[in-house]
Amino acid sequence: MTRTFAERVTEIEAGPCRLYVLPVPVEQVVTLRGSLRTWPDVAAGETLLQRLTVAMLDRGTRRRDRFELARLLEDRGAHLSFASKGTRVEFAGRMLRRHLSDVLPLLAEQLREPRFDPDEFEKARLHVQAQLQQQLEQTSTRARIALSQRLYPPAHPNYRRDPEAELERLATLTLEEVQAYHAAHFGANELILVLVGNVQPEAAEPLVRAAFADWPAHQATPRFAAEAAPQPPDRVLIHVPDRQNLDVLMGHAVALRRQHPDYVPLYVGTYILGGNFSARLMATVRDEQGLTYGIHAALEGISTEHEGHFEIEVTLSQDRLEQGIAATLEQVQRFVDEGVTEEELAEKKDMLTGLFQTGLSTTSGLATALLINIERGFGPGYLDRYPEEIRAVTRQQVNEAVQRYLNPAALHTVVAGSVMTEIH
């Protein structure tokens, strides 16, 4: 009999770190995923400051410069990376089992003791600047930014600032501000480490404990808005030069969090509407009417801590913009009014559970899924429960959730591309 993930994953309190170890029969390889809570002041724009601080983590430590750090990892065929993710900083890695005792101290060193070299700081600033400048030319990104500003207050984690404003702010940030942010927001707060692969809990625990044992928690507190605050629905035009194909994003806020019983039925319903190439919107707006090359619908930004939104993204040509928007809205309204059929529900439930199982076929997929659900507070056992939740969803539950949460009349529309004049 196959053991469940709840039975196979060992949870250990290794000093201030919650360590989760899942041994799997792979040859010598260990995959690492983890995160810590930073609590940036979202309304004050500290997410950009956090992003720049994270960009400094792999640019040397107090004990060694970036070149020695890179050499130590490369000599062992290992890698570590860091990312700013809302109110958390996440990290990932991969190494051979015999190098775990070398890589874990390096991970702790990078998180705890960045070098903050002035020259490296300017390089990190240029790197973040290039990413923001690239956003100016990306129609889909510009549309998402504009939609977020219509749906959320500036203190909400899903709110995104204009790249122009972020570039101005980036130019004023100093190394001293980055150092102060690290001192105030980096610590062993909700520190999680997941190890998957050729590793045993009894071997990993003392290494993790030694790396993080004396790392204190920081004193930052939660400072964000959990609820959406949508403006009245309207149409926003974002002009992006030399982009004849238009990215159209339609969306509205959804007053729902990930742990709510309605989430899974609504997620299944949204997937039936626009989750893949055989979904309703693709079958009608693209295949039958030939109005677009791509269209999809999804729930975005919903977490256990804050609300998110429903969105539809469709690519349209200039001459089919109005027709494409009208056809999309018609199909969404029809979907809400008529609901799903038993046949498409059964098909999509099989597809969703299959995709989930496929995602767990690698150590990377396993470690990522474990981290996500541990962060949510669901625990490792949710990897066992999730497919069961999907299979248990009924047609009535899906249709009731769709009618309760999806409202075509509340959809905002953002059009991004080479649009010079008002279009209706």
Q: What are the residue ranges of CATH 3.30.830.10 in the chain?
A: 6-213, 235-417
Among candidates 346, 269, 317, 308, which has minimal Cα distance to 418? 317
Q: CATH fold of 235-417, please?
A: Cytochrome Bc1 Complex; Chain A, domain 1 (3.30.830)
Asked if residues 345 and 273 have their Cβ atoms less than 8 Å apart, the reply is: no
Q: What is the pLDDT of residue 243?
A: 87
Q: What b/e readout covers 136-153, taking b as 16+ CB neighbours within 10 angstroms?
A: eebbbbbbbbbbbbbbbb
Beta-sheet pairing, 246-254 with 308-316: antiparallel
Q: What is the pLDDT of residue 1?
A: 64
Q: What is the pLDDT of residue 11?
A: 98
Q: What is the pLDDT of residue 244?
A: 86
Among left, alpha and beta (phi > 0; psi -120 to 50; other), residue 86 is left
Pick out the chain residues at pLDDT < 50: 423-424
Alpha carbons 39 and 47: distance in angstroms, whole number: 9
How would CATH label the architecture of 6-213?
2-Layer Sandwich (3.30)
Q: Is the dihedral of CA 394, 400, 401, 406 positive or negative?
A: positive
- Three-class DSSP labels, the chain: CCCCHHHHCEEEEECCEEEEEEECCCCCEEEEEEEEECCCCCCCCHHHHHHHHHCCCCCCECCCCHHHHHHHHHHCCCEEEEEEECCEEEEEEEEEHHHHHHHHHHHHHHHHCECCCHHHHHHHHHHHHHHHHHHCCCHHHHHHHHHHHHHCCCCCCCCCCCHHHHHHHHHHCCHHHHHHHHHHHCCCCCCEEEEEECCCHHHHHHHHHHHHCCCCCCCCCCCCCCCCCCCCCCEEEEECCCCCCEEEEEEEEECCCCCCCCHHHHHHHHHHHHCCCCCHHHHHHHHHCCCCCCEEEEEECCCCCCCEEEEEEEEECHHHHHHHHHHHHHHHHHHHHHCCCHHHHHHHHHHHHHHHHHHCCCHHHHHHHHHHHHHCCCCCCHHHHHHHHHHHCCHHHHHHHHHHHCCHHHCEEEEEECCCCCCC
Asked if residues 252 and 381 have their Cβ atoms less than 8 Å apart, the reply is: no
Q: What is the pLDDT of residue 424?
A: 44
Q: What is the pLDDT of residue 423?
A: 45
At a CB cut-off of 8 Å and minimum separation 6, what does 28 contact? 96, 97, 98, 198
Question: Residue 310 has which token pair?
Answer: 């429903």
Q: What is the pLDDT of residue 421?
A: 53
Alpha-carbon distances, residue 168 vs 155, 158, 161, 183 (angstroms): 19, 21, 11, 24
